Amino acid sequence: MALALGCWERFEDHDAPSDDPSGHAVRAASPEDVAVCMKECLSLGFGGFVVRKEKATFRPLGRLALIDQRTSGFWGRGAILYVVPDEAAVHAAELLHPIPGEERVEVTLEGGEEEEACFAAEASASILKSRSGYFESAFRHNWQDGVATEGVAKHCFKEFPGGSRTFEFAMAWLSTAEGKAVGSPWPILDCADACALTGSAAYLDSPSLLRAAARSWRLAAARGRQELLQVAGAVAEASPQFGAGHGQELVVQELRDLLQEMPKHHLQLAPEFAASPVTGLAALEARHSARETLVGHIKTVGNWVGSVIGGESRRAPTSEDNPHDFAAQLFELHEPYFVSSPPELRRLLRHVDPTHPIPAPLCFRLAAAAASAAAVAEDEVFAGHRLALDIFERSLGAESDPASAASDDACAVGLFGAGLREPTSPPALGLEILARPLVPPAAAAVILGRVLASWAARSPSSEGGDAAEVIFAGVVANRQGLRTMLSAALPRIEAEDRTNQERGSSLGGAAAMARSRSGESEWGSCFDLAVPELRAAFQGAAAAAVDRAGLAGEGIADETLSLLFRVLFRPTGGLPGVRFPLSLLRQLRHQGGPCSALAAERLLEELRISQRGSAGRWQLAQSLWSSVDWDAQHEELLEEAANLLRQWLGEAEVDGGASRAQAAVQLFSALPLQRLPRPEELLAPPVPAHVLAMLGHRCQLQNATRLAVLESENVVLREHISHLQNEIRRSS
């Protein structure tokens, strides 16, 4: 009898009626595949399945209904109908003749105030424990309601997720041993029942029940997009209730199976998928690998054409359509999990598009995570550092107030290590990124200032160096890429200076600085990189250089001092109040524009206050006068230089009259005397007569040159007139 009841019935050239004959086809090309279908059919509550052309479709009817309603003839030709064994008789026999010593339990659900218990099920305790973590824990702690009757324990639910209908579905499956047929009310046909049962499966700690419910519903018929997304969302929302391990793997696999039913343009990344990091990753990967249909391709092209023609997309994209946005939100929701699991983090970051900005401060935390996830191994290469750079500069550049965004600790501390007393690892990003074109200078200045300030704070007091010395040493050693950043920023500073000159926004000196900074946007200027910490470092090193080599600074070849000088001089308006070797001004001679004017002003200022009444000032002026491109200076500055020399000549000095006059002639000869306003006054005694004669000679040469140019132009004009006259004669 047991053998007869336990046998499957097979009907050649027979089919069975179904609302959706195509159903959801699964592979059935071999005896092994058919055996898998038999197992699925039993555990999911189907009465049987039909195999046609190596594909099996399940029939959501009972065993007897399938046998009674099976059809043959034309529609059944080539089909094989498999019908489940008669498990109902076996189950009844087991209840009448239980196995000696087997513990049994009656599970009931209480009704409301006006109804009795709506459902009761008697089952083997061992089966319930094997299929549900809830019951396993209940029996382990000897939880039961009431007194056992005839050896049958009692367990009563006061309420149940999804109500009595869901309770009936759940207990029908949980009380059935593996390998036996699940009876009524299975299979799951309604989307609402499938969603409710996934929630109750989470409550009962039964991942197998969740998978069976979703799979039974999915295999019963071909499902539409909205229903698939609804059930997939319910599965994802239930997933956090299952800990890491086999149970969670079952849930995630069922989610993948549900999502792979849809083409890419149907698969929306709903917020429910982000309920846990594993389901979010599964949804992202399912969408990435989803098939692209012709309809989806046409929609994609249509949206692109609409955005090009109309200037904007027909429908504003959301995170449900954009894997990049969904990946960023998933990281924000489950950041501790991803940070502690680099392999999962790398899986997530592959869906992040660095060309799309991410709001701050999330972008900084994501960039730091990307840098930490960098991996180069035999089986994996992940350019996490490159991704971190792109995320940082693209996202920071898109902020409306970059400086405010950069002041967040997630940026200065998390990415660049500012303020960390004892960093256990190198910062995620080096300072060299601050010179990249897409990084707003205003934000770069905030980060640079905080990092440099933290260096001195972390420096051991036993070293005896102050903050300026620590920062200067950091430039020398290229600490965190600081020297690289300054070298890369220098051409941008010089280019911005030239741009300001072309726009007429810079006139030189402190006033030029005020004008160049006024009206700037939140983006900032490259001049912002001249932070006070760098100025203090330069000031300390420059003072030491002046003590060693004097104010002229001849013979000093300090590349670091020179680099800092070129970076700081123009943005700070000529380094006012800072004493430095004046030989550094030679580096600015060919830069032109406002920077050249600042250099001339600074030289004249230093000459005024140095060695008053001493012949040594003439020597200082002679050694540094050529540092300035006097031909590029405006007339007011030339007049100022001439007045300074005239003043020196008028002061009584103890000796050196002849050498003083010779030095004056040499210095005046370097000036473009023709451009001096009122030269007859400026070059009058005590200025040596040689200077005025030199002016006359230059004017004579200039006039001769102009005369030669005019004569050559006259020759050309005469030839042209002669040619025209000849043309007129020939034409007449």
User: Secondary structure of 427-449 in the HEC alphabet?
Assistant: CCCCHHHHHCCCCCHHHHHHHHH
- Are 117 and 167 a contacting pair, CB within 8 Å? no
- Residue 335 has a CB neighbour count (10 Å cut-off) of 16
How confident is the model at residue 660, as a pLDDT?
A: 81
Q: What does the block give as tokens for 541?
A: 């090193």
The single residue listed with the structure tokens 């449900």 is 320
pLDDT of residue 488: 94
Choose the weakest-confidence range: 247-256, 296-305, 336-345, 369-378: 296-305
Q: Is 232 helix (H, G, I), strand (E, B) or coil?
A: helix
Predicted model pTM: 0.81
Is 214 in contact with 198 (CB distance < 8 Å)? yes
User: What average pLDDT does range 228-241 have in this prediction?
Assistant: 94
DSSP codes of every residue in 373-397: T-EE-SS-EE-HHHHHHHHHHHHHH
Cβ neighbourhood burial of 146 (10 Å; 0-12, 13-18, 19+): exposed
Structure tokens at 596: 């050249």
Paired tokens of 17? 């009626």
The pLDDT, as a whole number, for residue 509 is 43
Q: What pairing do the DSSP bridges indicate for beta strands 9-12 and 152-157?
A: unpaired
Closest by Cα among 382, 450, 453, 366 to 416 = 450
Distance CA 693, CA 329 (A): 80
User: Is 50 exceeded by the pLDDT of residue 312?
Assistant: no
Band of residue 100 on the pLDDT scale cut at 50, 70, 90: low
Domains of the chain: 2-87 (3.50.4.10), 89-295 (no CATH)
Please state the separation of Cα 403 from the chain's center in Å: 18
The Cα–Cα gap between 251 and 240 comes to: 10
The dihedral region occupied by 24, where left means phi > 0, alpha psi between -120 and 50, and beta the remainder, is beta
- Mean pLDDT, the chain, integer: 84
What one-character-per-residue DSSP string does 582-601 give?
GGGGGGGTTT-HHHHHHHHH
Both tokens of 116, joined, read 């009795």
**371, pLDDT greater than 80:** yes
| 307 vs 582 pLDDT, higher one | 582
Average pLDDT over residues 468-479: 93
Give the list of residues 6+ apart from residue 73 with CB closer than 8 angstroms, or none.
Answer: none
Angle at 284 between CA 223 and CA 324, to 5 degrees: 130
**31 preceded by a cis bond (ω within 30 of 0):** no
Helix spans in 292-408 (H): 294-310, 323-333, 335-340, 342-349, 362-372, 384-397, 402-406
Find how far residue 311's CA is from the centre of its chain: 26
Q: Where are the alpha helices (DSSP H) in 528-609?
A: 532-549, 559-568, 593-609
Q: Is the pLDDT of residue 462 over 50?
A: no
pLDDT tier at 609 (50, 70, 90 boundaries)? confident
Q: Find the largest Cα–Cα distance for the chain.
A: 140
Instruction: Work out the angle at residue 514's Cα, subtended by the Cα atoms of residues 408 and 444, and round it to the nearest 5 degrees.
Output: 25
Residue 206 vs residue 466, higher pLDDT: 206
Residue 618: per-residue pLDDT: 87
Q: Which residues pair with 152 in a beta bridge?
A: 104, 149
**Which H helix or E strand runs over 705?**
helix 689-731
Average pLDDT over residues 651-663: 68
pLDDT band with cut points at 50, 70 and 90 for residue 87: low
- Which tokens go with 513? 């600085």
Range from 111-115, 391-395, 725-729 carrying the lowest mean pLDDT = 111-115
397: exposed, middle or buried (Cβ count in 10 Å: 0-12, 13-18, 19+) = middle
Provide the angle, in degrees to the nearest 10, between the axes of the packed helices 657-669 and 689-731: 20
What does residue 30 show for φ and ψ, rounded to 5 degrees?
Answer: -140, 165
- What local confidence, expressed as pLDDT, does residue 459 receive? 64
- Between strands 375-376 and 55-59, the pairing is unpaired
Q: Are strands 104-109 and 152-157 parallel, antiparallel or unpaired?
A: parallel
The answer to whether 187 and 216 have CB atoms below 8 angstroms apart is yes
Give CA 349 to chain center in angstroms.
9
